[in-house]
Structure 1
Amino acid sequence: MTNNKKDSLPKTLGMRDLVLFTVSAIVLLETLGSAASMGPSAIFFWVFFGITFLVPIALITAEVGTALPEEGGIYVWIRRVFGNRWAARAVWAYWVNTAIWLPSLYVMLNAFVARLFNIELSIGQQITIGLTLCWLTVLLDVIGLKIGKWVPNVGAILKMVLFTILIFGGLQYGMNHELANEFTLEQMKPSWDEGLKYLPVVMYGMLGFELVSGAGGEIRNPQRNIPRAVFLSAFCVLFMYILATAGILVVIPAGEVDIVEGLIDTLTLFLADIPGGETIVMALGLAAIFTFFSNGATWTMGCNRTAGQAGKEGELPSLFGWTHPKHGGPVGAAVAMGIVCSTALLLYGQVAESSADLFWSLMSFSAVIFMLPYIGLALAFLKMRRVETHLKRPFKIPGGQPVAYLLTFITITILTLTAFLFSYVPGEGPQWSVIIGVVVALAIGEVVILISEAEKRIKRARLQQNLDVVAEK
C-alpha cells in the first residue's frame, strides 16, 4: 500500500457523476416510508425544512466546497479554521456513524428481501447476506472511483425510476379511486407535538451534500461543477421526497404505512391489475434492493476517503491512510469499516431473537453522532467568512455577513434540535442506550486521536534521529 499524493488522483467525477452520487447518498427509501407514516403533514415538513434547512446546508456546502475543493472534504474544511484535533474529532464522528449505520442498513435490506420474496430468512442467512454486502462494499472502495462510481450512479437512476412510478402511479390511482388520506390544508397542517418526533426522520433525509467532496481531488473542474451539482441534486431530492411521499399516501392510510413494506404494498396496488404486473413489481423490488446496497456503498466511498485523508496527514492512525497503489482507494479506512460492520452484524446475530430492540437502540446512537460534523461544517463556514476574507470563492452566498450568520444559526439550531430528539423522545423521555452509545463512541474517538498523535511524535523523533546521524557524518 502507499499514500498517493492527492495531485496524482485521477479526475474521474464529472457533473453527471456528482449529481447522481449526491442523489444516491441522500435519497433513502427507508426515509420515505418513515416520512409517509406521518400522514399528509409530512408534505408540510418536507417543504418547511426544505426551505429552512436543506437550502442553507446546500448553500454552505457549495461555497466551502468550491473554495477548498481538496481530497478529504469536510475534514479539510474544519481543519483549516479549527485545527487538527477538532478536524480529527469531526472526521471520527463522520466515519464511526457510517460504520455503525451500515450494518443496520443491511439488516433492513434483509427484511425487504424477505417481504419481496415472501420468505423467512434465518438469522444465519441474514448475517451471511449482510457480511457479503459489507465486504463487497469494502471492495468497491478499494478499486477506486473510476469503476466504483457506477454503483451510486446506477443506484441513483433506479431511485429516480422508483420515485417516478410512485409519483405518477399515485396520480393515476387518485384519479380513479378514493384517496386513502385527505390532502386538505387542515390535514396537512402540522401538529408540532407529534411532528417533533419525526423531525429526525426528515433531517436524516437531507444530509449528504458534502459527501462527494470527500473525493474533492478526483472531481473534474470542481469550482464549476460542485455548486451546480449541489443545487441540481437539492432540487431533485426535495421534489422526489415530496411527490413520492404523496404517492404512497394516496393509496395507504398513514396509520398503516410500514417502513419496509410500504414501497412494495404501494407498487402492488399500482401495478397488480395490469398485464405482467407481478413481474414488474418483482423487478422494481429488485431495483429497490440494489438501491439499499448502492446507498451504503455511496456513503462508504465518500466517508472513507475523508477518513483516509486524515490518516495520511496523521490526524487518525496511519492504518486509515493506507491506499491502493494503483487505484488510490482508501484501503485502510475501508477495511477498518468492514471489521466494525462485521462485528456489529455478528452481534446482531447473537441478540436478534431476544434483544432486537436493544440492537436498534444502539444503532440509533450513530444518528446523534452524525449531526456533529455538520455543526462543525456550519461553524467552519462562518469562521472562514470572518477570518479568511481574501480566500478565493468561485461561488459565494450573496447577502454578506448578516446572511452568513443567519444561515449558520438556522443550520446549527436545527441540527442541535435533531440530535436532542434522537436522544430524548417527547412522551418517552431520555433514550439512555442512545446517550451511552454517543458517550462511548466519542470517548473511543479521543483514544484513537491520542494514538494518532503518539504516532506522529514517534515519526518526528525518528526523523530527527536520522537527521542527527546524517549531521554527525
Structure 2
Amino acid sequence: MSDDGGSGPSQSRKVLGIFTLAMINVAAVLSIRNFPSMAVYGWSCIGWYVIGTVMFLIPISLAGAELATGWPDGGGVYSWVKQAFGEKGGFVALFCEWSNNLVWFPTVLSFIAATLAFALTPDLANSHLYMFGVMMIAFWGTTAIAYFGEEASTKFGNVGVILGSIIPAILITLFGVWWIASGQTLVLPPFSLDQVVPEISLPTLPFFATIILLFAGMEMAGFHALEVRNPQRDFPLAMAVSAFVIFFCTVAATLAIAFVIPADKLSLASGVMQAIQYFFDAAGLPELVGPMAVLITIGGVVSLAAWLIGPAKGLGVVAEEGNMPPMFDRTNKYGAPVAVLFTQALIGSLISLLYVFLPSVNQAYWILSAMTVELLCIVYVLVFAALIKLRYTQPDTPRPFKIPGGMTGVWLVGGIGAAGVIFSFLVGLMPPSYYDNGLGYVAAVLFGTFVLAAPPLVFLRMKKPEWKKNRAGVRPDE
C-alpha cells in the first residue's frame, strides 16, 4: 500500500540524516495490528521474522532505493515497472497496489472496530453488526477527510503513526518486560534455541505470507533516497537502522502478547487489546484500558486517512496518460481524486459485508488478508523483475543509490526477493487449520485476487484516443 507520489530531481529538498530517513521507514511499516497473527507461534515467531527480514524486508528496501532514485517521477511502481515491461505491466502493478487497498481497508477497519469495543464492551467485538457499523463510520469518515486533499490526510497520518503504532508497540514491549520481571505466569514454555526454529508444516506455512503483509511498504523509503546527501553511504545505513528497529519492535511486542494470552484464546482482530487488558488488570490499573483503546482507535483511524489518498492519486497519473476513462483523474479544488475515492469506498464497503455473512470474524479476516498478500505479491514480483531488467536495458540511467556488487548483487537481491514473494503467493492460498472448507477458501481467494487484478487489461482494451490529455492538460472533447 505505497504512496505513489514522486518528484523530480530539480525540486528543492530538505537534506535528511540517517536517523530521520530510518524513522520514515519505521513509521511507514510498523503496524501493531499484525502482531496477534504471529503471536500464536510463540518463540518460533522470531524465526519467522528472521526469514521475512532476509527474504523480503532487506531486498525490497534496496530495490525501492535504486528504482526510486533512478526514476523519481510521479507514478511510483507504475513508473518503475513501465520502464521495464511497458504500459501494460506498469498499469497492472499500480492497479494491484491500489486494489490491494480495497481488501486491506476492511482488515484494518476490523482492527479499529475491535479495538474500540474494548472502550465500550469487549463482547461487542463478537457482534458482526457492531463490527460492520463501526467499520463503515470509520471508512466513510476517513474518506471525507481525504476529500480535503493529501495535505490534510498527511497531517492526520503523521499523528496516527505515532499514536497507533510506535507508542503502543513500545508500551506493549515495556509491559512484557514488566510481566517477566514481576514474576507473572508465562503461557509460553521456557526459552530454548530449538523453539526459535519455525516448524515447517502445512498448518504453519500460511502464516509466512503474513510477513509480506507486515513488511509491505518498505519500498516507500526509496522515494526519499534523493533527499540524502550521500545516498550510497547513508541510505544503506538508514535501511539497516530501520530494519533493526522494525524487527526488534515487532518481535518484542509479538512475544509480549504471546507471553500472556494462550494461542487458542487469541483473537486475530482484537489480540492487541486483549494483551493490554491483561497487562493493565495485572498492574491494578483496569480503568486505563478504555482510554488506551480510544487512543489506539483514534490512531488507527487517523493513519487510515493518510493511506486513503496516496494510491488513489497514483491512478490519476495513469488516467492522465489516457489509460483509464477521464472520470478517474477528476479532482476537486483540494486536488483530491473524488471519483476514485468514492469508487474505492463503495467497493471497500461491499467487501466489508464479508464480516456480516461469514460465520466467524477470524475467517473473514484471513480471507481478506490472503487476498491482500496475493495482490501485493503480484506488485513485488514485477518490482523485483523490473529491478533486474533495467540493469540490462538501461544501465546508463543515473542511480544516486545503486545496489552494490554489480549484476551479481542485483540478481542476489532481486532473486531472493522474488523467491520470497512467489513462495508467499503459493502458501497464501493455503487455508488456516480452523477453516473447514479448504477448497472454498482457495477459490474465494483466487477469484477475489483475479477480480481485483484484471481491470487494467479491460481498460487498455477499451482505450480511446480521446482519453489522453494533450500537452496543455486537456482532452480533445473538452
Q: Are the counterparts in 1 of residues 13 and 227 from structure 2 also a CA contact under 8 Å?
A: no
**Which residue does the alignment assign to 1:375?**
381
Q: Are the counterparts in 1 of residues 156 and 305 from structure 2 also a CA contact under 8 Å?
A: yes
Q: What's the CA shift for 1:89? A: 1.1
* 2:269 maps to which of 247, 252, 260: 260
Flag as ranges the 4+ runs of structure 1 deviating above 6 A. Answer: 4-7, 9-14, 353-356, 457-460
2-structure distance, mates of 1:18, 1:387: 30
Residue deviations 1:190-248 (CA, integer Å, cap 9, x gap) = 211154231011221011123476xx5xx695455894765554333222101111222
**Which residue does the alignment assign to 1:470?**
none
Deviates further, 15-24 or 336-345: 15-24
**Larger helix proportion, structure 1 or 2?**
1
**Which residue does the alignment assign to 2:211?**
202
Indicate the SS of the match to 1:120: helix
* 2:350 maps to which of 343, 352, 375: 343
Residue deviations 1:390-426 (CA, integer Å, cap 9, x gap) = 1111111111110100111111111111111122348
**Which residue does the alignment assign to 2:81?**
78
Q: Are the counterparts in 1 of residues 33 and 272 from structure 2 also a CA contact under 8 Å?
A: no
1-structure distance, mates of 2:248, 2:270: 22
Deviates further, 402-411 or 428-437: 428-437
* 1:278 maps to which of 269, 275, 286: 286
Distance 1:32 1:364, change over 3 A: same
Distance 1:147 1:299, change over 3 A: closer
Name the TM-score, length of structure 2 as normaliser: 0.83
Percent identical across equivalent pairs? 23
Alignment length, in residue pairs?
Answer: 452
Distance 1:220 1:146, change over 3 A: farther
Q: What's the CA shift for 1:151? A: 2.2
Distance 1:406 1:212, change over 3 A: closer
Q: Are the counterparts in 1 of residues 322 and 464 from structure 2 also a CA contact under 8 Å?
A: no
The residue type equivalent to 1:314 in the other structure is: G
* 1:385 maps to which of 380, 391, 396: 391
Indicate the SS of the match to 2:404: coil
**Which residue does the alignment assign to 1:55?**
58
Indicate the SS of the match to 1:180: coil
The residue type equivalent to 1:38 in the other structure is: Y
Q: Are the counterparts in 2 of residues 155 and 290 from structure 1 also a CA contact under 8 Å?
A: yes
Deviates further, 287-296 or 221-230: 221-230
Residue deviations 1:416-446 (CA, integer Å, cap 9, x gap) = 1111112234875671111222233333342
**Which residue does the alignment assign to 1:30?**
33
Q: How does 1:184-223 map to 2 (within 5 A)?
A: 184-193=192-201, 194-211=203-220, 222=227
The residue type equivalent to 1:240 in the other structure is: C
2-structure distance, mates of 1:6, 1:202: 30
Q: What's the CA shift for 1:24? A: 4.3
Q: What's the CA shift for 1:99? A: 1.4
Name the TM-score, length of structure 1 as normaliser: 0.84
Indicate the SS of the match to 1:205: helix
Q: What's the CA shift for 1:114? A: 2.2
* 2:159 maps to which of 134, 154, 157: 154
Distance 1:449 1:367, change over 3 A: farther
Q: What's the CA shift for 1:14? A: 8.3
**Which residue does the alignment assign to 2:419?**
413
Distance 1:86 1:154, change over 3 A: same
* 1:444 maps to which of 455, 459, 475: 455
Deviates further, 11-20 or 100-109: 11-20
Indicate the SS of the match to 1:272: helix
Q: Are the counterparts in 1 of residues 78 and 91 from structure 2 also a CA contact under 8 Å?
A: yes
* 1:120 maps to which of 108, 124, 129: 124
2-structure distance, mates of 1:352, 1:414: 31
The residue type equivalent to 1:37 in the other structure is: V
2-structure distance, mates of 1:74, 1:229: 21
Q: What's the CA shift for 1:131? A: 2.5
Residue deviations 1:278-335 (CA, integer Å, cap 9, x gap) = 233222222222333244334323322322222222233332222344x433333322
2-structure distance, mates of 1:80, 1:39: 43
Q: Please, what is the CA RMSD of the aligned residues?
A: 3.5
Q: What's the CA shift for 1:11? A: 8.0
Distance 1:184 1:93, change over 3 A: same
Q: Are the counterparts in 2 of residues 362 and 433 from structure 1 also a CA contact under 8 Å?
A: no
**Which residue does the alignment assign to 2:186?**
179
Distance 1:19 1:11, change over 3 A: farther
